[in-house]
Structure 1
């Protein structure tokens, strides 16, 4: 007897919400696709750092920037429009809001690129393993993560739905660095190595800050209202001052402040404010070395 799915279809369909303007995944609206978000992240890297694309070899800087800018704007326009429609806006509202978002993006591009140049320079200045600035830009995952985050953050600030989070999740998948698009990051920021870094939504990071792999800037708890519902958007992540260094696997939780020029040692666990010019270390673990007898043949 050939197996068919007919008898299983109706029970499964009953699990769907068929309310109009709620059932976005059920044919009511198209949705932005991750594969198109991925194309945008690649296009942004070519736009911020021309010369990465083979087509750049036989053209001027102006031609390269124009081609890459047009490409990114075209792709962004489509996914932002879909995101607004998915969020319940009319087609007319979506088109108007998409235009506003694209104007905001293009207006802020010069400032974003200057920030990224400072991020790359901070990476080169702080890593003796880097041979030159080009190596940092082409090879270091932090530069890709920050390039995408800084764009996603600007879209997040003006209320573009869904796309900022999708951009950062593609970046997370590519680099192992997880930054919520709501996080505010100052200039000359760098993440060395990067794998396992988590930066939460309401984190604020000052200028000239350096993180190492495995650092978590997270929430200690989630504030709730009188009905027990989560207060979304409430400040619940750390504020990191200027000129702070946070070493590998340190965990900093809650709406606390790490003062300027502080150094947070590896694997520290912090839930309280730290005064400026502090050094926070945990005791070195006791090392036990035992000698083993060689196995006899």
Structure 2
């Protein structure tokens, strides 16, 4: 070994004690979430006792991940966190069912729930987010962000685990969607590919402030729309057209369209017009 290699090796060794480490093998987390989804949405019918055994093993693997990634927490604390998460799993499963049903009810290209579970990237991204969000509300470790970045790598949909998204939520096509950390999304919201719900300012001193928009209930946001700012609110029952750029709040029942400038109309005054069919 030459001197340069020896010195670099020493630097790498010393930096391990300065948090320049990955903290955990991400493949363990990916295996855990994949196993959990196989329990929630199995390929074939599984008996109750087998489901219980699978859930128990999945929980043991979860605790092992938490123990490894949370150096400051004891094993007992990790078990407490796991108990809390798995107690919430029935509600999360109900949310997932509502998301899938809403996609089936609104997407004319969807033929059955099985199609959505097996092949819709939007469904995968939403449900990984719901699990990551449930964990993020209980601990501030790296696990939630690793989960949502796994979904991001598979789907092209980037949802921060600390975003607030009500039920049901629908993503169609999905590629290129970005939903920022302090975004708030209401019920029955549909979002298409390329949409950004982002921040107007990205300075580090904004970290603790609401930087991302609020989208109220029953809103549709079409492809490549960009909505920015923590004080920006998209009012309920509004439709945001493709390629629009919004940095100010929009009243309920509005239509926002792209031309030379954004055009905002009141939906209640316009009948039988569909500007944005895809």
Normalising to structure 2: TM-score of the pair? 0.87
For the aligned residue pairs, the C-alpha RMSD in angstroms reads: 2.1
Deviations 1:133-185 (A, max 9, x none): 22112211122112211111011112240000011111111111111100111
- Aligned position for 2:274: none
- Aligned position for 1:235: 210
Equivalence map 1:93-132=2 (5 Å): 93-132=73-112
Structure 2 segments unaligned to the other structure (5+ residues): 262-278
CA distance in 2, matches of 1:242, 1:222: 27
Change in Cα spacing, 1:191 to 1:70, as seen in structure 2 (3 Å) is same
Match of 1:44 among 36, 39, 62: 36
CA distance in 1, matches of 2:15, 2:158: 34
How many residues align? The count is: 260
- Aligned position for 1:9: 5
- Aligned position for 2:26: 34
CA distance in 2, matches of 1:141, 1:218: 21
User: Could you tell me how far 1:236 is from its partner in structure 2?
Assistant: 0.3
Conservation of the 8 A alpha-carbon contact between 1:44 and 1:147: no
Conservation of the 8 A alpha-carbon contact between 1:136 and 1:143: yes
Conservation of the 8 A alpha-carbon contact between 1:246 and 1:264: yes
CA distance in 1, matches of 2:200, 2:258: 20
CA distance in 2, matches of 1:171, 1:94: 29
Rg (Cα) greater in structure: 1
- Aligned position for 2:141: 161
Deviations 1:93-112 (A, max 9, x none): 33133112101111111110
Deviations 1:198-222 (A, max 9, x none): 1111111000000001111111103
Conservation of the 8 A alpha-carbon contact between 1:46 and 1:68: no
Conservation of the 8 A alpha-carbon contact between 1:189 and 1:210: yes
Equivalence map 1:171-250=2 (5 Å): 171-223=151-203, 230-250=205-225
CA distance in 2, matches of 1:230, 1:137: 40
CA distance in 2, matches of 1:162, 1:209: 28
CA distance in 2, matches of 1:270, 1:17: 48
Change in Cα spacing, 1:24 to 1:77, as seen in structure 2 (3 Å) is farther
- Aligned position for 2:18: 22
Change in Cα spacing, 1:19 to 1:37, as seen in structure 2 (3 Å) is closer
Question: Do residues 252 (structure 1) and 238 (structure 2) align?
Answer: no
